[in-house]
Structures are given as C-alpha cells and as structure tokens.
Chain A
Amino acid sequence: MQVHPRTEQKIAQLVLWLMTSITVLILLFIVFFVLRNGLPAITIRFLTENPVEMGKAGGIFSPIVGTIALTCLAILIAAPFGIGTAIYLTEYTRENWVTRVIRFGSECLAGIPSIIFGLFGFILFVTKLGFGWSLLSGSLTLAFMILPTIIRTSEEAIKAVPYAYREVSFSLGGTRWQTVTRVVLPSALPGIGTGIILSIGRSIGETAAVIFTAGSALRLPTSLFSSTRTMSVHFYILAREGISKTNAYGTAAILMISILAINLLTYAMMNRFIKKYS
C-alpha cells in the first residue's frame, strides 16, 4: 500500500506529539501526586523537629541533616579524585591502552546497580574496616558510586576547552600545571560544576547503597562514625513498614523539591556557561 508522503508526515508528527505529551503528562502526574499527598504534612515543625515514635510523629530534621552531611562528605571525597583523574586522563597522558582501560572501568562502574555498591560498602567499610553503619561508610560508598559521573563530566568539560588556550599558555612559558590551573580549569569549571550538581542529585536520591552502609538511626549524627538516616531511607522505611503515610509523602515531597531545585540550578549554570563561551 502506498501512503502519500504528506499523509505519512502528518501521521509521524501526530505520533511524536503524542509520545511527548504522554511523557510530560506522566511526569506532571507524579509531581502532582507526591505534592498533593505530601504538602499538607509539611510545616515548619515538620522541618525542624526530629522524628518521634519511629517517624510516626515529629518531623524529619535529623534525616535532613543526615542527607546533607552524607551528600557533602561524598562529594568532598569524590570530587578531588574524579577531577584529578579527569585532568590526568586529558592533560597528562596521551590516548593509549591504559587510559582506555581506566575509562572503560569507570564506565562499567557507572552501570553497576546501586545495591551492589551498598553490598560492597557493607562488606568493605562496615565490617572489614570496622567503620560500622556510619556517615563515613555511607559517604565512601556514595563517593564510589558518583565517581564515574564526575570523571566523565569533568573530562568532557576539560576536553571542551579550546586547544588554542593551552597553546597560548605554553607559548608564554607556562608549565603544564600552570596551564591546567590557570587556563584549563577556570574554563572547564562550569562544566565540572554541572557534573558535581548532578552527582549531588544522585546522592540525595540514593536509598539502597545508603541503607546498607549508613544505617537508619534516627538520632542526629554527632561524628563520622554515627549511623544516620537520609530522607530517602526515611521515606522507604515509613512507607514499607506502614508507619505513617502522611509523613512518608511529606518526606517525598521535600526530597522531590530539593532535587528539582538542584536541577534548576544545573540548568541555570549550563545557560550561563553557554552564554559566557559563545
């Protein structure tokens, strides 16, 4: 059967439009659903009080603190390693089998399910090294998990810096390290920052890897060796154990709003990056 090209074009357009609309609708529905169930639970007290009776009452102050502490620690550990690796791969070596193995390895790392990271972190940090369920174990595990993202995005950002900039620095008597720190990194910084923000989003949302390594204590963490509970773990436990539906949704809403805010920030940063360099 022959279809007229114009009819074909009309059908294609309609199908594509439908697919897009359905995607957007599903997304909006999820956001609406969580916010409608969660917003009523959110009050100032919900944000500033610790959970009481396993989370049935009280707020989510300690999970908020736990989430922030765990995420910041994970980024503090992963960012230097990730950016360092990216600088080494792009500026200090030529493309050869070693760099290919490193890159392949880090890409495989990115594809590993987070629960495997959780198991690994549990065996290595919690039991073998004796850190127990703690901020330290949790953040080290998360750091491993987000490392590939940071390496990848930093590498891309560094590669995007025009070679001519490096040439100028070298021709003015700059060493490789001066070139990296004064020319390459400042130009790549917005891109690297974007990768870090994406990693923050991923850490905040992570549950499986965290529950195995940081535990689920409801107290405020007092040291690196305190067990702590993140918002996503809190939500998981509240919902799974049927402790409090309202508080579970409240936590979910806060979680979603913060991730949304982080994505908006990423978007704004990308825009500034593009504006500055075009």
Chain B
Amino acid sequence: MSNVVIRTREFSSFYGRIEALRKINLEIYEHEIFGIIGPAGSGKSTFLRSLNRLNDLVPGWTMSGLLEVEGKDIYRPGSSIAELRRRLGMVFATPVALPRSVFENVAFGPRLAGVSNRSELSQLVEDSLKKTALWEEVKDRLHKSALKLSGGQQQRLCLARILALRPEFILLDEPTSGLDPISTMKIEETLRSLRSEYTIILVTNNTKQAARVADRTAFFLSGQLVEVDRTEKIFSAPADRRTNDYVSGRFG
C-alpha cells in the first residue's frame, strides 16, 4: 500500500460530557476504499464528521488528540475549514438535493468557491455527472428541478456535487441506507470506478456492503476502534471475537 493520507493519534471526541470516540489510532492510505462498520452509536459517523470538521457545528462538541490530513493537523488554529471541507467532500445518508436545478446543484460548490465562468461551470458539471454515471440520465433535464430525480439519482447527484469541487477524499455516511438494491449497486459501481482518483471512506451499517467494496475495513464499537484490517481478513478471520460476532450477525 502507498502513502498514509489520514492519520489519527489518540483521537477522542465528546458531545458535552459524553464520550463519542475514545483514543482512535488509525491510518488511511491514498486511493483506497476504507470501510467503517459498527452498530448504531458506535461512533463511526462521529469519526467521519470529524474528518471534515462538520462536528464543529454541533453545540458542545469537543475533541482531543491529533487528526492529520496529509501530514497537517486539521484542528490547528487558523486552518481553513472551508478549504478542508472542499478537499473532503461528504455524502449524507439521505440524499439531499437542494431545491434548484440539476445543473445548479452540481455547480453549487464551485459557485461558493467563487467560480462564476459559465463555460468552466458547464464543463465541471458535465465531468462530474459523467463520473457518477448520471450524465446520460439527466443531460436532457439539466435545468429541471433536481427534486424530480429518483432517490438513487439524487444520491449520485450528491456525489457529483462534491466531485465538482475536485476533492481528494470522498466521505460517505451510510450513503445507500435509504436506497433500493439496484440504486445501491449503481452507487457501489460508481465508488469502485472512482477509487483510482480519490481516497474513499465509507461508513456503512450494511456489513455486506463493506465486504463488497472496501479494501480495508475498520470495526467500531462503543466509540472504540476494535479492529482494522484487510476486508477479507475482517470477514473471514478477524482477530477480535467481537468483530467476528458482529460480522457474522450475532448482534448489531
């Protein structure tokens, strides 16, 4: 495996006095699909939202320890949160298309960053939609409301929306939890095709999904990292009994 691009050292986080993550030590490599599994409340989403500092919006959230992206502590004073969030694009559990056109949804991020050149935006929108295999489906209704798209299409639109910012990382928070099997399959195919260009971190409550797409998988339980290893290893011969219990469906 290649370079380490995300590294955490003793990373803990709290909602008020409740500890959501305890001393996570983790390394994520460039251009891998990194799966995170665990039952509800295990801290996997909190971890993901710590990576692009989205937890900063939660009143009473605090952290300790170190979280480095490409060698830089992202919580150091004076680092740009907006720039960080552009580099680490996030897709949420429910597809959130903004109430505007398909085109404007994809162009939304670049516009926030100050891109206003029409042809540059058109090119970005087209490229992003092609990467998520949505272009053929929506090219005739780019200027129609994005809310008219199906759930699966909306989720791929959300993916295209972050690609338009040319991020280095794609963070996905249970991206297919509300989708049907066909739409889920399409998202998973898209993720595999994106792996060569991006580092992908996929939080999922569907262990089979991690088994299907992740190169390596981490198992979180009660705010702690129980185990992290190659996905085949996690699913065939995990080192920790709790991992085995979880992936074999004994709880969770």
Q: Which of A172, A182, A276 contacts B161 (CB 8 A)?
A: A172
- When chains A and B are docked, how far (Å) is the Cα of A174 from the Cα of B100? 17
Cβ-defined contact, A173 with B83, below 8 A:
yes
Q: Mark A160-178, 1 if CB is under 8 A from B, else 0.
A: 0010110111111111001
Size class of the B contact interface (CB-based, 8 Å): 20 to 34
Q: Is A224 an interface residue (CB 8 A)?
A: no
Known: A170-B85, A173-B83. A164 touches B96 (CB 8 A): yes
CB atoms of B109 and A170 under 8 A apart: no
Q: Which residues of A contact B90 (CB under 8 A)?
A: 171
For B81, the closest partner residue in chain A by CB is A173
Confirm or deny: B98 has a beta carbon within 8 angstroms of a beta carbon on chain A. Answer: yes
Residues from chain A with a CB closer than 8 A to the CB of B100 are: 186
A141 CA to B161 CA, complexed, in Å: 47
Q: Cα distance A167–B111 when bound, in Å?
A: 16
Q: Does A97 contact B (CB under 8 A)?
A: no
Residue of B with least CB distance to A164:
B96
Contact A170–B98 (Cβ < 8 Å) = no
A172 neighbours in B (Cβ, 8 Å): 85-86, 89, 108-109, 112, 161-162, 165
A-B contact count (CB 8 A): 60
Asked whether A168 and B98 contact (CB < 8 A) given A173-B83, A173-B113, the answer is yes
Q: Does A183 contact B (CB under 8 A)?
A: yes
Which of A165, A182, A186 interacts with B112 by CB under 8 Å?
A: A182
| Interface residues in A, total, Cβ within 8 A | 20
Q: A277 in the interface, Cβ–Cβ < 8 Å?
A: yes
In the complex, whether B54 has a CB less than 8 A from a CB of chain A is yes
Q: Mark B207-228, 1 if CB is under 8 A from A, else 0.
A: 0000000000000000000000
Task: State in angstroms the CA–CA spacing of A178 and B85 once bound together.
Answer: 14
> Which DSSP category, helix, strand, loop or mixed, fits chain A's interface?
helix
B88's closest neighbor in chain A, by CB?
A171
Chain B residues with CB below 8 A from A171, complex form: 52, 54, 85, 89-90, 92, 162
Q: Of residues 76 to 97 in B, which have CB atoms within 8 Å of A's CB atoms?
A: 82-83, 85-86, 89-90, 92, 94, 96
CB of A187 within 8 Å of the partner chain: yes
Q: Are A183 and B98 in contact (CB under 8 A)?
A: yes
Q: Across the interface, which residues of A come within 8 angstroms of B83, CB to CB?
A: 173
Closest to A168 in B: B96
Q: Which residues of A contact B99 (CB under 8 A)?
A: 165, 186-187, 276-277
Closest to A183 in B: B98
The answer to whether residues A168 and B92 also contact, given A173-B82, A173-B165, A174-B82 and a CB cut-off of 8 A, is yes
Complex Cα distance, B111 from A178, in Å, reads 10
Q: Confirm or deny: B1 has a beta carbon within 8 angstroms of a beta carbon on chain A.
A: no
- Is the Cβ of B57 less than 8 Å from the Cβ of A170? yes
Instruction: Determine if B59 and A94 form an interchain contact, defined as CB atoms under 8 angstroms apart.
Output: yes
Cβ-neighbour of B86 out of A173, A182, A183 (below 8 A): A173
Separation of A235 and B92 alpha carbons in the complex (Å): 59
Contact sample, A vs B, 6 pairs, CB 8 Å cutoff? A168-B92, A168-B96, A169-B112, A171-B52, A171-B89, A173-B165
List B residues at the A interface (Cβ < 8 Å): 52, 54, 57, 59, 82-83, 85-86, 89-90, 92, 94, 96, 98-100, 108-109, 111-113, 158, 161-162, 165
Interface residues of A (CB under 8 A from B): 94, 162, 164-165, 167-175, 178, 182-183, 186-187, 276-277
Nearest first, the 7 closest Cβ-Cβ pairs linking A and B are: A172-B109, A173-B82, A173-B86, A164-B96, A173-B85, A171-B90, A174-B112
